[in-house]
Amino acid sequence: MRETLAEWQPVVDEAIEEVIPRRIDEEYLTEFFGPATYEYDPETLQRALSDPVWELLDRGGKRWRAIVFLLLVKGFGEDHEPYLPYATIPEILHTGTIIVDDVEDGAAMRRGDQALHDVYGTDVALNAGNALYFIPLKVITQNPADLDDGTRLALYEMLMAELNRTHLGQGTDICWHNDGGIEVGREQYLEMCACKTGCLGRIVARLAAIVTGQSDERERAVARYAESMSVAFQIGDDILDIENSLGEAGEFGKEFGNDIREGKKTLLVIHALETASEERAERLRTILNAEENTDEEILEAIDILQQTDSIEFARERALSLAAEARDQLADADLAEPEASMLAEFTRFVVEREQ
């Protein structure tokens, strides 16, 4: 799977450069945004948009959402080349969400370096992140693959529906870790993931189905596949945050004990609070609700998660969701070898090491 990602990543990055070039000039601004009413300032817009976006993209990221889109297109029996520009939509949207997410969470690190709001300022980071919610819509306007008006309208409507649910998930997550008194259930956590992370996955799958003219039934099948896989990915990410913190979290690209410092109600935490002794559960709540944590407190919280077998509980749930995703993928009746590669993605998102 890593070989597949490495092979496709340069192709995806080249396509992204067509939407957000590394170097912004007057010609790009006029062509992409329309003629200036008075006069554009390309140098300033370079610093405000392209520089922060490409700094983050160049730090890494596997581009798996764009690659899953392309594999789905091929699995539907279509040539992926005409649809390549559409693969940039979920990747650009994802980049926007993590820029904004880091501001909202007060994160210190992203992909092994300072979070963008600490490098460029909160105002620049927020503006760039928000712009990435809208810039991909221009791809639909430019109309690669010469889609008919009904298909383009369906794309707009799908994106608006899924992006709205994405913000429901993010808002829920923020309020949960801002209010330490909230008790979160397992199903509520999974619904938050289905919105916050799952909707971006659904965009990937539904985009591929809509642009290639698939049936509603096939679109629903791949959307369920992508949603289940994305929720499994989120749980896997929560597990990695803990496991990599035990190794100081360096290669993971996030701060040591990131989720605990933010007081996040992850599936691991929910399980630990349900199963730990009253004393240990209260201690975990205290650590999660503290304004600041020492490294010793982070390790104490992790010890509670380990003693309650919460890490393994979460891993089993992620593996179960990955299996559900494979079952849903089978309903889509995709061509080989793409079907097998997409099934392998469901294992990769849970078993990856960073």
Would you state the pLDDT for residue 354?
53
193-213 pLDDT tens trace: 999 999 999 999 999 999 999
Preceding peptide of 337 cis, ω within 30°: yes
* Residue bearing the bigger pLDDT, 124 or 352: 124
Average pLDDT over residues 332-348: 95
Q: Give the pLDDT score at 258.
A: 83
pLDDT band at 248 (very low <50, low <70, confident <90, very high): very low
Q: Are 61 and 100 spatial neighbours (Cβ–Cβ below 8 Å)?
A: no
How far is residue 309's CA from residue 155's CA, in Å, rounded to a whole number?
A: 43
Residues near 263 by Cβ (< 8 Å), separated by ≥ 6? 177, 178, 180, 288, 289, 290
pLDDT digits (tens, 9 = 90+) for 253-279: 566 788 898 888 999 999 999 999 999
d(CA 342, CA 248): 32
| DSSP state, residue 22 | S
Q: Dihedral angle at the C-alpha atoms of 227, 230, 231, 235, nearest 10 degrees?
A: 170
Question: Residue 72 in contact with residue 222, Cβ under 8 Å?
Answer: yes
CA dist 42 and 112 (Å) reads: 29
Arithmetic mean of pLDDT, 280-288: 94
The one-character DSSP state at 249 is T
Q: How far are the Cα atoms of 39, 190, 235, 237, 264 from residue 183, in angstroms, in the given order?
A: 53, 14, 18, 21, 12
Q: Quick check: helix, strand or coil at residue 113?
A: strand
If pLDDT is split at 50, 70 and 90, which confidence band does 36 have?
very high
Q: Give the Cα separation of 345 and 349 in Å (integer).
A: 6
Domains and CATH numbers, the chain: 2-351 (1.10.600.10)
Q: pLDDT > 70: what percent of the chain?
A: 97
Rounded CA separation 268/266 (Å): 5
**Residues 6+ positions from 112 with CB-CB distance below 8 Å:** 59, 60, 250, 251, 253
Predicted local confidence at residue 275, as pLDDT: 95
**Residue 183 or 252, more confident:** 183
Instruction: Give residue 353's pLDDT.
Output: 58
Q: Per-residue pLDDT for 250 more than 70?
A: no
Q: CB of 107 within 8 A of CB of 255?
A: yes
pLDDT tops 80 at residue 230:
yes
- Predicted confidence (pLDDT) at residue 95 exceeds the cutoff of 90: yes
Q: State percent of the chain over pLDDT 90.
A: 82
147-182 pLDDT per residue, tens: 999 999 999 999 999 999 999 999 999 998 888 778
Residue indicated by tokens 């919460």: 310
Q: What is the pLDDT of residue 128?
A: 97
pLDDT of residue 281: 94
Return mean pLDDT, the chain. Answer: 93
Q: Tell me which residue has tokens 């659904």.
A: 202
Confidence check: pLDDT of 98 > 90: yes
What pLDDT is stored for residue 132 in this prediction?
97
pLDDT of residue 253: 52
CA distance 71 to 26: 35
Residue identified by tokens 């923020």 is 174
Q: How confident is the model at residue 247 (pLDDT cuts 50, 70, 90)?
A: low
Residue 38: the pLDDT is 98
Residues, the chain = 354
Q: Could you give the CA distance from residue 288 to residue 311 in angstroms, rounded to a whole number?
A: 17
Selected residue with higher pLDDT from 322 and 182: 322
Under a CB-based contact definition with an 8 Å cutoff, are residues 233 and 215 in contact? no
Q: How confident is the model at residue 225 (pLDDT cuts 50, 70, 90)?
A: very high
In whole angstroms, what is the distance from residue 306 CA to residue 304 CA? 5
